[in-house]
Structures are given as structure tokens and as C-alpha cells.
Structure 1
Amino acid sequence: MKFIKDDFLWGGATAASQIEGAYDAGGKTLTLLEMKPFLPIKDRTAIHFGGQTKEEMLESIENKKNLHYPKRFGIDFYHRYKEDIALFKEAGMNVYRMSIAWSRIFPNGDDKEPSKEGIAFYRNVLTECKKAGIKVMVTMHHFDTPYEITKKWGGWKNREVIDLFVRYAKVLFKEFDEMVDYWLPFNEINVAIWSTEVGLGVFESDFNSKSERNSAAYQGLHHQFVAQAKVIELGKKMCKLQTQFGCMVANITTYSLDCNPINEMENLKSQQISRWFFYDVVAKGEYPNYIKRNWKENDINVNIDEQDLKLLKNNTVDFISFSYYMSATVAVELSQKASGNVSMGGKNPFLKATEWGWQIDPIGLRITLNQMWDRYQKPLFIAENGIGVLETLNDQNTVEDNYRIEYLSEHFKQINEAIKDGVDVFGYTMWTPIDVVSASTNEMSKRYGMIYVDYDDYHNGTGNRFKKKSFEWFQNFMKTKEL
């Protein structure tokens, strides 16, 4: 079977906090993600976002307990980016989705001037990508609110952080406009609701009640919606005409566990609150009625003024990007649960799952693409998709990762089918082209990449890169487009 779209973008995605290391280079400050230590995982299928007390995170600044903080070291991309981008080119990637760390540009969030060292680093990375003939999609905020923003401003629950973020975006547009093809203001913006620490830079332990916590989460999310709209408005004025601006949502595709109307209704409500709401705001520019009812019934209070609504309506995204790793089931009463990217769901008896309990559902990607195209009629981009596995190098210094080849191949086939269905999907970046520190569990041993990085969970190892079998498979796919 041949992939039918010649101009499709194929590549990989990474996040600054999971690859760069050099956490204090050029005056860079810590983010909340870099304040979380690695702790041995007792249950891989549990949800691991958050879980630390405020006191534990504050103790991490001086590290008096001598714990290991993996995201402070990443895979040393800061020093090895040329080597890694050369490998991306060798694999055949024609697009790279990367993130820029806010705290590397404005270490304190509100500095008078941006960091020259930070700007120089990203200019070097982007220059290397352009030399390699690789298009670039940049995420401006990938779960890495600077701790200084949390300390001084209270994170995204404070409306003034909007202006700080727009100021940061202005510097990125000014410095890197000609080098970036696509901009995403926020990664998986809906994570704000599931983890205020990860999504908003707000300590979960600061809240005294569920109502207070949820009100702050949605208020912080609203501020991010407004910030995204302002960034799009600014970018349209500052950037070259062909530059595109998108969103990024952690997509949660679910099915009713059975055909019981009660469970069908439960799934509809789940999809509205966990999925469609976020797309509706950024793609249609409107808060849907169902979220207003949800807020009213759950004592959630969000301050939204008329100017915010006009801004959202007038600055919707050019394209929709999303992560898709798995699907789940929904019912009023679930007897068996399954893990997922940002939330738990129900088990599906027709699907296999990874060691982390994420259910593998390639057809679900085709369903997702059709649903979103029918609903929004905006170009679609799959920003994250991949499989995390425990892996070690064999005697030939490679990994025979046939399971990854199968996973990628089956998802590629379903993208092809969606295009035949008439869906306008223009690109795909796997998570990830190279092993990285896990966002949620802080593991190096949860490996997603086509390229093996020789570090363990405590960063013992050489850090050297080795090609897995999937690297050669993808390289061949890019040459032949045969599925």
C-alpha cells in the first residue's frame, strides 16, 4: 500500500524540559517539572502527573535530600543538538516539532531584557534544522511555566501572566520568524484541568476545596485561551504571510462501553468536557453552552469579560494539532479501568495495551480525524503519537523494536485511510524520534524513540545515541512511502 499524499509532513516531536538538560546554563531558572525527582515506579498504569507536595517541590531547589532530578539533565540536547538533528535528517524527517523554554529566554519571566545566551542557543538549533532541510513547528509553552512565575505571580491563575507570555512570544517572533513554519502557543492546553502544576504552574496543595481548585484551574485555562488568542493576533502582524498558528490538545477519544443509552449519554458528556470543549474555544472562538451548565452545576466560577470573548472569536487557529496515543471506554459504572496520557478511562476488551496500560487503537485515529474534520473543517496535524516501552541495547548496539514498527505502521495506514475519506490532515510528528525523559513518570526507561539514548533513570551511562530497527524502517518508509 502506498501513502497517497506527496506533500505530507513526517517527523518527530520533543519538549525542551525532556531533552535539553543544562538547566542553569545562561541563567536559566527551574520550572516545576524540573523540581520533580525520579522515584521508582510502583504502578506503571497509574496517573503520575503531580503527586508532590508544595514543600517537597520547594525542597528540591537546594536538593538537601540528594535526589535525582532527570529533567535537569534530559538527554543533553543542549550540547548534542547538532548530532541529534543530523540523525533526524538521516532518518528522513522533513518536520521537527520542538519547544522553546520560556525560562531560557526570560529566566525570571519578567526580566527587563531576554537572555542573549538563550536566544543564541535556539537560533543555532533552528539554523541547524534549516540546513538539514527540516521544517520547524515550535511550541512556546510545553508544561514548563518558570518557577519564578509561580513564586512571584501565582502562575496562570493570575491574569497578569498573559501579558508576560505575550511579551515572551513577541521576542520569539522577532528573533525566529524566518526560521519557524508553524507556531503552537501551548502544548496539550487541556492538561490545565487535570494538573494545575503541570499545566498552569499552580501548586495543587494551595487549594482548600474542590470548588476552589476547579475554579482556579478553569480560570487559569481561560487566561491561556486569551494568551493564545493574543499571540495569534500578534503573530499575524509580525510574522511572514505563510506562517501558520495552531492549537495543541491532549485528545481523549472514547467509546461508550455498550449500547445502553445511559452509557451513551455518559460518553457524550465525557467527550464534551474532556475533549470538544477545548477545540470549540480555540477553533470556533466560543464557549459552548454545555461547559456553562457544567460550571453552574459544579460551583465553578470563571471571570470572563466581553473583550475576552471578542478576542477569542477574532483569533481562532489556522489548524488543529493534537496528541493521540490511545482510546478508552466510558460508562456510568466501570468495572475495569485503563490508564492513559492524562486521565484514566475504561478498558476495551477488543484492544491490547502497553506496559503503562495505554490501549493501542490505530482505527481510533481514523475515527478521531474524521470526527474533527467533520466538526471543525480546519486542517489537522497529529502532533504526538507513539509507544513507550522498556528497552535495552542488544549485543549489536541496537533494539529490535518490531512492536514500534507495527504500532507506527498501523497508525500510518489509518492516516492514509482518513485522507481517502476526505480529511484534510497535513502532517504527523511521532513522540518521539529519540528517547527522552518521560513527562509524567520522569523515567528514561520508558522509551519512545527510534534512537536509543544510553542513560538509565539516574542518568548513569554514556548518553551516546544508537539507531533502533525502527530508525531504518522509518528511513525506508520516507524513501518509498510504502506501508
Structure 2
Amino acid sequence: MSFPKNFLWGGATSASQYEGGYAIGGRGKSHLDYIRRVEKDDTDKTFPINVTEEMYNDHKLHENEYNFAFRRGSDFYNRYKEDIALLAEMGFKTFRMSISWSRLFPTGKEKEPLKDGVEFYHNVFRECHKYGIEPLVTMIHYEIPVSLLEEYNGWESPKLIEFFTHYTKFLIDEYAHEVKYWITFNEINMIMNSSYLGGGLFVEKSKRSNEECIHQALHHQLIASALTVKYFHEHAKESYVGNMIARLQNYPYTCKPEDVLATQQQNQFNYFPTDVQAKGFYPKSILNYYKKNNINIDYYPDYEKILLEGKVDFISISYYHTAVISNDKDKKEPIGAFIRNLSNPYLKKTDWDWCIDPIGLRITLNDMNDRYGLPIFIVENGLGAHDKLETDGSVHDAYRIEYLSKHIQAIKDALNDGCNVIGYTPWGCIDLVSCGNCQMTKRYGFVYVDADDEGNGTYNRYRKDSFYWYKKVINSNGEDLSI
């Protein structure tokens, strides 16, 4: 089986990591604007995205001293025409991007949006359509207006449902005629791994236990998503809306039944937000987990009806790596963790120690195809690596071509298995600030951006070898994967 003729080839970005222009047009700050780059000689080696209230207050105190790389991004705000022309040159059918909530509603509580922000996204969509590129828009890619963090402790408060649905209803009313494909939340399950990043939470500030605080916030996100989907189906009947999770395929460390059971439980935990968004109800496994671990959720009024009426049209995933799970006391790791320490001896690793596992993508697609029976969109995948810009402006990234070639072949194999995969948008198609380390030097793109971790550089764009390779792949609709 070949790729469908209407397969959506493209690439993916997010506003917080790519857009830049954080102080232009009245844009308010988001909570991601206060995640700083941890420098090599910094004595505080805390993983940057796990910000505590103490760290946050320190970051505000040193507003003009620390390196807040997300504020710069890759300067898409000023270069969107140039960048979209590069995507068109590769033959993109779709471009995944997100909208900055605080560019439209600076504090998240305004009744009316900023005109400059509204027009900016109209301009981006017009530019995409000029080249026949269909925007794929994520309504929230983690970032919330920082005032909602300070006043409500982020998504722990049900008030954010009200603010978010006001924002998303505006997006639907304003842009639905320009955007056919939408995603409500980016990697909605990431809140269970990084509560500040995924939920704007200071768990230490909550009266709830850490885990209870996180799951209360996740419940509010699931309700906000369902209410948005219901409104979407009523007012944007020609478009489609999906969900998204970071898909963490796990393997048993051994064939010992205890390891197999622990792996099954980890996979259930990873799947459950999609279960809610695709099936319209909480799975019994997670309700049982809540009961066993004394996690008491204040359920939103009529939540069962809301979830049932807010089921998505398609499933979308990020897929980067797989992990192995052990039930042994000395090897057991927290449930729901994104990065795990046990090594898989059968797989090679990236420069950042992520396992390279294209067959795992095929396994994932088959699992999800059988579980949900909905179209699947792979909206993030790719290789973060150290790229070198040569004096002639070239970048030789054969390692990225090899990685992508094998993963695209795995998608093709999954199509032959009967999976309904509708699109593929590799992450960071133009280099952007990497999330985990707040750095430019972990690069994913087909296009090199001349900027370093401190923001030095021209920000000029250079085509990598993978640029020309991916152009060939798209032109052949996935038939020519030769390296």
C-alpha cells in the first residue's frame, strides 16, 4: 500500500518556541516566558521546565538578567513570509503551528482580543493558503497567560475552563473558515510529567497533594477540551478537531509477568487522557488508580455529559522514543514519567539519550488504530541533534535523513497493517528553541537558523541536506525514501 493521495505531509512548530516577538503588539507574557536557560556554568542544574514558585519569583526578580530563550524563539513573527515560502519550496501540504493565547488576550481575562494579534494570525493563514498549505492549529501548546498562573495556580482552578473556552470560541468564530484542522491541547498528558510546563502549576502551593493537584488540573483541561469540541462541532461543521498526547510506548524489561503487568499499567496511564477525549468517559483503570491512591477529584458539574458530547474527530500524537519498564524495587520508576533511565540494549540512542525506535512507531499506530478506530495524525517526530553550519552555508545532516527515512517507512508499514494514518508533521521543521533544555543547539529542522543558545546570531535561514531529501519524499508521496 502506498501513502494516500491526500496524505498531509508537513512540519510542526509551537508559538512559544518559534514565534518570538514576545513584546510586540501588546502581547502579554506567558508562563513559559519565565523558563530560563540553564547555562553550562550555572550552579542550579534543575531541569529548566520544572519551575517551582521559588524559582519563578527569582526569575521575575532577575527579569533583565536571565536568558529566557522562549521569548526569542526563531523570530517567526518577523520572518513568517520567508519561512512559509521555505515550507512551500519543500512541498508542504500542511503546517502545524500554535496560537499564543497571550498575543490575543494578554492576561487571559479580557473580553475582546488585541487587534494586532488577531491580524497577525490572519496574515499567517493567508500566506499559507497562498501556497496551498493547510494550517494545522494547536489552540494551546502548553502556554497560558502568566496572570492565570499567579492568580489561580494555573489549571488547578476551574476558572481556567471559563477563560479558555472564551478564548477557543473566539478562535473558532474568527478563524474556522481559514483552518480546517485543529488540536485543542498539545500533549495533554505532559502535565503528569511536568506540572509547571503542562499546567502552569506550583504543586507545592496547593492544599492538595502533588498528584491530586496534577490530576485535578488535568480534569479541568479535559473538560475545557470537551466544551471546546462541542462548540466546534456546532459552529465549524466543515472542519475537524482532534486531541494530542505524547505517546510513550513501553516494553517490559523482562518477560517476567510482574514486568509485563507493570508495563500494561504504564501504558493504560499514558492512554487515559485519549480514552477520555475519544470515548467520552474515564476508563475504569484510572478511576481505580484514583481510589487506591486516595486521589479525590472535584468533578466539574455534569462532567460525564460534557465529556460524552465533546469527543474528538481524530487522534494526534508526538512520537520520539520508547522505554522499558521493570517492577523490581531497584528499577521501578514513577508512573507516567516521560524520560526513563532503563536502557534497551537493542536500540541506538540520540545525542540526548533518547532511544531510536521506528518499529515502536508502527506498534503505537497499530495499538491506537485498534483502540480508537479514528484517523491518526503524527504531529511530532524527529531527531534532535548537533548540526554544523559549514562556511558555504550547507548543513550535512545524514543522521537526520536516516532517522526520518526509517520512521516514514514504519508509517508505510502501519498503513499496510490497516492503520488509518492521515498525516505526518516532523517537529521543528525550521530550527526552534528546544523545550527540555531551552536551547537552540538541540536542532530538529530541515532549515538551520543561525542563532545560538544565548540568542547571538543573524537568525538567517539555511537549507540543510534534509531539506532537499524531504522535498523529494513529499514530491514522491513517500515512495522515494532513498538516502
Tell me which interval the TM-score lies in, with the shorter structure as reference length: over 0.9
1:219-238, aligned counterparts within 5 Å? 219-238=216-235
Query: Per-residue deviation at 1:26?
Result: 1.6
The one of 274, 278, 284 aligned to 1:289: 284
1:156-167, aligned counterparts within 5 Å? 156-167=155-166
The one of 441, 448, 451 aligned to 1:452: 448
* Distance of 2:30 and 2:88 partners within structure 1: 30
Deviations 1:304-334 (A, max 9, x none): 2561111101221100001000111111136
* Distance of 2:180 and 2:387 partners within structure 1: 34
Bigger mean CA offset, 65-74 vs 399-408: 65-74
Query: Per-residue deviation at 1:4?
Result: 3.4
1:100 matched to which residue of 2? 99
Contact 1:85 1:128 in 2 (8 A): yes
2:133 matched to which residue of 1? 134
SS at 1:178's partner residue? coil
The one of 326, 331, 334 aligned to 1:331: 326
Paired AA for residue 288 in structure 1 = P
Contact 2:388 2:396 in 1 (8 A): no
1:353 matched to which residue of 2? 349
Deviations 1:442-466 (A, max 9, x none): 0000000010000000011100000
2:474 matched to which residue of 1? 478
Contact 2:199 2:217 in 1 (8 A): yes
* Distance of 1:142 and 1:95 partners within structure 2: 18
Query: Per-residue deviation at 1:336?
Result: 10
SS at 2:374's partner residue? coil
* Distance of 1:282 and 1:359 partners within structure 2: 28
SS at 1:25's partner residue? coil
SS at 1:374's partner residue? helix
Structure 1's 41 and 415: CA in aligned 2 closer, same or farther, altered over 3 A?
farther
* Distance of 1:82 and 1:62 partners within structure 2: 36
Structure 1's 49 and 67: CA in aligned 2 closer, same or farther, altered over 3 A?
closer
Deviations 1:96-155 (A, max 9, x none): 110001001100100131111110111111110111110111101101011011122221
Q: Over the residues paired in the alignment, what is the CA RMSD in angstroms?
A: 2.1
1:260 matched to which residue of 2? 256
* Distance of 2:14 and 2:403 partners within structure 1: 22
Task: Count the aligned residue pairs.
Answer: 475
Bigger mean CA offset, 118-127 vs 25-34: 25-34
2:266 matched to which residue of 1? 270
1:171 matched to which residue of 2? 170
1:197 matched to which residue of 2? 196
1:298 aligns with 2:297: no
* Distance of 2:315 and 2:46 partners within structure 1: 26
* Distance of 1:42 and 1:180 partners within structure 2: 44
Paired AA for residue 221 in structure 1 = L
* Distance of 1:306 and 1:61 partners within structure 2: 36
Structure 1's 65 and 96: CA in aligned 2 closer, same or farther, altered over 3 A?
closer
Structure 1's 64 and 139: CA in aligned 2 closer, same or farther, altered over 3 A?
closer
Contact 1:254 1:329 in 2 (8 A): yes
Deviations 1:350-371 (A, max 9, x none): 0001111110000010100000
Query: Per-residue deviation at 1:395?
Result: 2.4
1:68 matched to which residue of 2? 67
2:239 matched to which residue of 1? 243
Contact 2:50 2:196 in 1 (8 A): no
Structure 1's 227 and 60: CA in aligned 2 closer, same or farther, altered over 3 A?
same
Contact 1:434 1:452 in 2 (8 A): yes
2:377 matched to which residue of 1? 381
Contact 2:430 2:446 in 1 (8 A): yes
Contact 1:383 1:430 in 2 (8 A): yes
SS at 1:139's partner residue? strand
Deviations 1:394-440 (A, max 9, x none): 12212110010011100000100111111111101100211000112
Query: Per-residue deviation at 1:227?
Result: 0.5
Contact 2:96 2:379 in 1 (8 A): yes
1:318 matched to which residue of 2? 313
* Distance of 1:64 and 1:401 partners within structure 2: 36
Query: Per-residue deviation at 1:296?
Result: 1.5
* Distance of 2:51 and 2:373 partners within structure 1: 41
* Distance of 2:203 and 2:341 partners within structure 1: 22
Contact 1:330 1:345 in 2 (8 A): no
TM-score (norm 1): 0.94
Structure 1's 305 and 437: CA in aligned 2 closer, same or farther, altered over 3 A?
closer
* Distance of 2:381 and 2:15 partners within structure 1: 18
* Distance of 1:180 and 1:166 partners within structure 2: 18
2:11 matched to which residue of 1? 12
Contact 2:434 2:442 in 1 (8 A): yes
1:427 matched to which residue of 2? 423
TM-score (norm 2): 0.94
The one of 304, 308, 311 aligned to 2:303: 308
* Distance of 1:390 and 1:472 partners within structure 2: 19
Query: Per-residue deviation at 1:5?
Result: 2.1
SS at 1:179's partner residue? coil
Paired AA for residue 54 in structure 1 = E
SS at 2:425's partner residue? strand
1:118 matched to which residue of 2? 117
SS at 2:125's partner residue? helix
Query: Per-residue deviation at 1:68?
Result: 1.3
Deviations 1:72-116 (A, max 9, x none): 111110000000000000011111110001001100100131111
The one of 336, 343, 357 aligned to 2:339: 343
Structure 1's 67 and 21: CA in aligned 2 closer, same or farther, altered over 3 A?
same
1:414 matched to which residue of 2? 410
Structure 1's 341 and 30: CA in aligned 2 closer, same or farther, altered over 3 A?
farther
Query: Per-residue deviation at 1:191?
Result: 1.0
Q: Name the % identity.
A: 41
Contact 1:336 1:347 in 2 (8 A): no
Contact 2:222 2:273 in 1 (8 A): no
Structure 1 unmatched ranges of 5 or more: none
1:397 matched to which residue of 2? 393
Paired AA for residue 213 in structure 1 = N
Structure 2 unmatched ranges of 5 or more: none
